[in-house]
């Protein structure tokens, strides 16, 4: 009998747990450790954050599903991993600590939201908002609706959305949020009372941490930069890229750009994505030495089967992880945001003041689900006495993003973005790093239908309902 422990119940962890339980007999244990009792469908928090979706529509309780599936659930935080002795030290909500032994371990813990990386950033300081988890999305909703109330009374406001650190990721989520704010204010007939601004660490508008998206249509190569410039012009959204937010107070956001220039933006409401780091877990060896620095990169993301330590321009497609297996302990895997990439996809930049302004690589949503499936099947291989045979690097993986620009399925809209592969492969595709025939950029009402359909389909899938595995990650 094998015992598989999964840390985290987001897209990666939940996907892995469902595949493991589907393929393995009940003589094998599948255990999920997660600090929260519910799964949250993060992509729909853009709607929660403006009051257009009830929070309960984005969540469901894990334990009833796990009981039905024969998966053991432990609500706790993972504090330490002891890879030599093969156990995880967990801590429950009452502060009690205990050991959970494992034969195979999946680190799918998601990000640590490093608000502390930017002075004054975040809802705990009552300054900027976040939509990175359900609690923050509800706070963002309340602050946004308070701003709307001011506008209804006649105030003119400045709304600032984007990234809150020089190395933030998830520009796509911020882009959805700013577009939904625009659409909501148009719906409320208040758009003329708001100056809406975008601030980002991207080298160009539309870079999105993936080096931009290019698609061929009617013989013309369209870029995400021109796509978003057109959209922002239509929506009258001001934008500033190549910028790192350095400090925030209750009135101003202070930034620094590529040239080393510094400035400030006064705001009435702001949502800024913080820096993501690896979840704070220590790795301890059999001699009680802390080996976290060996197991993870400086950002706290777990090292797997990648080619690390190379200069950005020297990273090749073959350097991207494919099995997500630790090189030090073959029974440990990392999935989703928890694994370390070999570098950024977008070109890194450090200005003359030494400030790193680099849009870091996203690996949420679709990518997380795919990696969760890959890792689960590799563990199944090993339990059956075989070598891990499932490989899917982000340089072989398609990516799809439906970015909402208004929730309504009657007069809403969404930008549909497809890219292949997610991380570029310039050996196969020397001009753009991606297959322009597979890439796609479009905007329209049909995208709003697809966005709402994905919400329903993926919650259905993550609940492990009949036919769940037929819905692709």
Q: Please report whether residue 37 resides in a domain.
A: yes
Q: What angle do helix axes 171-187 and 134-152 make, rounded to 10 degrees?
A: 30
pLDDT at 123: 97
Q: Please report whether residue 306 resides in a domain.
A: yes
Is the pLDDT confidence value at 294 over 80? yes
Q: In the chain, what percentage of residues exceed pLDDT 90? A: 91
Q: Please report whether residue 103 resides in a domain.
A: yes
Is the pLDDT confidence value at 253 over 90? yes
Give the residue with greater pLDDT, 440 vs 81: 81
For the record, the structure tokens of 121 come out as: 């950033």
At residue 404 the predicted structure's pLDDT band, cuts being 50, 70 and 90, is confident
Find, among 325, 326, 339, the residue nearest to 297 by Cα: 339
3 state SS of 430:
coil
Peptide bond into 452 cis (omega under 30): no
Is the pLDDT confidence value at 459 over 90? yes
Q: Please report whether residue 118 resides in a domain.
A: no
By the 8 A CB rule, do 296 and 278 touch?
yes
Of 56-65, 86-95, 413-422, the range with the lowest mean pLDDT is 413-422
Compute the mean pLDDT over every residue in the chain, rounded to the nearest whole number. Answer: 96
Mean pLDDT score, 247-267? 98
Give per-residue pLDDT as tens, 153-192: 999 999 999 999 999 999 999 999 999 999 999 999 999 9
- Please work out, in degrees rounded to the nearest 5, the angle formed at the alpha carbon of residue 278 by the alpha carbons of 85 and 99: 30
DSSP string, 290-331: B-HHHHB-TTSPBP-SS--S--GGG--GGGS-SS-B-SS-TT
pTM above 0.85, yes or no: yes
Q: What angle do helix axes 445-462 and 11-23 make, rounded to 10 degrees?
A: 50
Q: Please report whether residue 297 resides in a domain.
A: yes
Give per-residue pLDDT as tens, 123-148: 999 999 999 999 999 999 999 999 99
- Separation of alpha carbons 49 and 139, rounded Å: 8
Structural domain of 66? 3-113+276-383
- Separation of alpha carbons 247 and 348, rounded Å: 21
pLDDT at 408: 74
Q: Please report whether residue 245 resides in a domain.
A: no
Mean pLDDT score, 224-238? 95
3 state SS of 102:
coil
How crowded is residue 126: how many other Cβ atoms within 10 Å of its Cβ?
11
pLDDT at 341: 97
Is the pLDDT confidence value at 322 over 90? yes
3 state SS of 52:
coil
Mean pLDDT score, 430-441? 93
Q: Please report whether residue 351 resides in a domain.
A: yes
Give per-residue pLDDT as tens, 151-162: 999 999 999 999
Q: Please report whether residue 443 resides in a domain.
A: no
Q: Given phi > 0 = left and psi -120 to 50 = alpha, else beta, which region is 48?
A: alpha
At residue 414 the predicted structure's pLDDT band, cuts being 50, 70 and 90, is confident
At residue 401 the predicted structure's pLDDT band, cuts being 50, 70 and 90, is confident
Domain of residue 341, CATH code: 3.50.50.100
Beta bridge partners of 161: 198, 271
* Number of domains the chain contains: 1
C-alpha dihedral (449, 451, 456, 460), degrees to nearest 10: 130
Is the pLDDT confidence value at 409 over 70? no
């Amino acid at each position: 009998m094998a015992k598989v422990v999964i840390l985290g119940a987001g897209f990666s962890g939940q996907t892995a747990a469902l595949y493991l339980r589907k393929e393995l007999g009940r003589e094998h244990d599948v255990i999920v450790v997660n600090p929260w009792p519910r799964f949250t469908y993060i992509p729909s928090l853009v709607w929660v954050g403006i009051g257009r979706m009830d929070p309960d529509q984005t969540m469901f309780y894990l334990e009833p599903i796990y009981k039905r599936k024969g998966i053991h659930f432990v609500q706790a935080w993972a504090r330490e991993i002891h890879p030599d002795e093969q156990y995880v030290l967990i801590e429950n909500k009452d502060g009690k600590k205990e050991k959970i032994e494992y034969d195979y371990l999946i680190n799918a813990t998601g990000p640590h939201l490093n608000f502390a990386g930017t002075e004054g950033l975040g809802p705990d300081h009552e300054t900027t908002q976040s939509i990175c988890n359900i609690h923050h999305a509800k706070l963002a909703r309340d602050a946004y609706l308070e701003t709307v109330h001011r506008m209804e009374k006649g105030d003119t406001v400045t709304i600032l959305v984007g990234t809150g650190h020089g190395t933030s990721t998830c520009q796509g989520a911020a882009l959805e949020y700013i577009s939904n704010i625009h659409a909501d204010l148009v719906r409320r007939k208040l758009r003329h009372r708001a100056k809406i601004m975008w601030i980002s660490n991207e080298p160009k508008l539309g870079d999105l941490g993936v080096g931009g998206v290019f698609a061929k249509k009617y013989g013309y190569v369209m870029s995400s930069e021109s796509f978003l410039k057109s959209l922002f012009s239509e929506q009258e959204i001001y934008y500033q890229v190549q910028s790192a937010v350095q400090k925030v107070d209750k009135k101003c956001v202070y930034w620094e750009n590529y040239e080393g220039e510094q400035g400030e933006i006064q705001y009435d409401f702001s949502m800024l994505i913080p820096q993501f780091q690896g979840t704070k877990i220590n790795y301890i060896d059999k001699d009680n030495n802390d080996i976290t620095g060996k197991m993870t990169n400086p950002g706290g993301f777990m090292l797997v089967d990648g080619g690390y330590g190379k200069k950005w321009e020297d990273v090749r497609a073959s350097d991207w992880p494919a099995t997500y297996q630790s090189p030090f302990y073959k029974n440990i895997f990392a999935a989703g945001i928890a694994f370390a990439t070999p570098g950024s996809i977008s070109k890194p930049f450090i200005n003359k003041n030494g400030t790193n302004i680099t849009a870091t690589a996203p690996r949420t949503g679709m990518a997380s689900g795919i990696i969760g499936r890959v890792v689960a099947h590799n563990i199944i291989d090993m339990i059956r006495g075989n070598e891990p045979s499932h490989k899917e690097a982000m340089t072989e993986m398609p990516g799809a993003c439906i970015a909402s620009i208004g929730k309504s399925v009657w007069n809403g809209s969404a930008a549909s973005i497809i890219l292949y592969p997610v991380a570029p492969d310039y050996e196969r595709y020397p001009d753009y790093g991606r297959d322009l025939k597979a890439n796609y950029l479009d905007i329209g009402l049909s995208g709003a239908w697809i966005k709402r359909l994905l919400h329903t389909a993926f919650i259905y899938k993550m609940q492990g309902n009949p036919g769940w595995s037929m819905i692709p990650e």
